[in-house]
A and B are shown apart, each in its own frame.
Chain A
Amino acid sequence: MAIEGVDLMKAAAFIGAGLAMGFGAIGPGVGEGYAAGKACEAIGRNPEEAGLLTRTMLVGQAVSESTGIYSLVIALLLLFVV
């Protein structure tokens, strides 16, 4: 079984998808954890505002998640389209 150019392209696309997802998950992970930690601090200091803080934290996390979602879209493109 000889390895042809198409196989190499497939392999490169799969490696690229894995790298894109792996590196792309670092940023949102750090960012969302930081947001959750800060929200915990704020709730500890000000427990009666817990509902508002949780809501704001979730929206902020959903926004900061978007870079991870971009890398997911890129990975899916590499897996299924290339």
Chain B
Amino acid sequence: MDDLTSIPQFVIRLFGVNLVFNTETIFMTWIVMAALIVFGFLATRKASFMPNPVQQVAELFVKAFYDLTKDALDDRMAKNYFPLVCGLFMFLLFSNWLGVIPKLSEPTKDLNTTLGFGIMGFFIAHYAGIKKKGIKQYLSEYFQPIFFMAPLNVIGEFAKVISISFRLYGNILGGSIIILIVSHLVYGLMLPPFLMCFFGFFVGTIQAFVFTMLTVVYISVQVK
């Protein structure tokens, strides 16, 4: 049970500040990025009117997420923001699925990854809001219904980041802890592979979709 709490770290001391790198997370993120690059390469290498299977899957992704973004935002903004949405979903999907392969672990099991994506979504949403409405109206939104509600509105914005990133992190970490405990109890009979598929494929897909969906919703709340 020791590998539950251990996080492999690599510390550099630079100008009196400790720079801590979570080596496993960084390495797994590289694996996911490499898999995505290979997938993109295979999908576009021989792009033709009669698509090969990989291109077919990629077109499915693109179509589904373009429609989804177009529903939430308007037509012109969907063109700008849909690459972000599709890329975010595919990265999260691949990283949630990575835990199914033995010896590999999900990069989303680390709070730093999910919090990074949450903060990225926060900044993008607010940038989109400022760009669409202008700084004056953007600031006046905080003083809606009455002026003394401003602190509550600010806290509400930060709570979105916390909730979206802790949801993904907790789901993935909780799933892997349950797998670990059950395989400790039954010594790897039938149950752990089944649980791995459930938490890796089913929960991982749903959580990746929910994360992407909520990022889109936060952007659309800001621009409306």
A interface, CB within 8 angstroms of B: 58-59, 62-63, 65-66, 69-70, 72-73, 76, 80
Contacts and interface: CB of A to CB of B under 8 A. Distances in A.
Please give me the 7 A-B residue pairs with the lowest Cβ-Cβ distance, nearest first.
A69-B170, A66-B167, A62-B210, A80-B5, A73-B170, A72-B174, A62-B206
A72 B2 CA distance: 19
Contacts of B171: 62, 65, 69
B4 interface: yes
Contacts of A69: 166-167, 170-171, 174
B170 A72 contact: yes
B206 A59 contact: yes
16 contacts: A59-B206, A59-B209, A59-B210, A59-B213, A62-B171, A62-B207, A63-B210, A63-B214, A66-B166, A66-B167, A66-B170, A69-B166, A69-B167, A72-B170, A73-B166, A73-B169
Contacts of A70: 166, 170
Contacts of B84: none
A76 to B, nearest CB: 7
A76 B176 CA distance: 13
Interface in B154-207: 163, 166-167, 169-171, 173-174, 177, 206-207
A14 B209 CA distance: 34
A48 B122 CA distance: 37
B interface secondary structure, majority: helix
Given A59-B209, A63-B210, A69-B171, A80 B4 contact: yes
Nearest to A68: B170
Contacts of B170: 66, 69-70, 72-73
Contacts of A76: 173, 177
Given A58-B206, A69-B166, 10 more contacts: A62-B167, A62-B207, A62-B210, A65-B167, A65-B171, A66-B170, A70-B170, A72-B170, A73-B173, A80-B4
Nearest to B213: A59
Tell which of A62, A70, A73, A76 has the most Cβ of chain B within 10 Å.
A62
A58 B204 CA distance: 12
Contacts of A72: 170, 174
B110 to A, nearest CB: 13
B22 to A, nearest CB: 16
Contacts of A58: 206
A55 to B, nearest CB: 9
Nearest to A81: B5
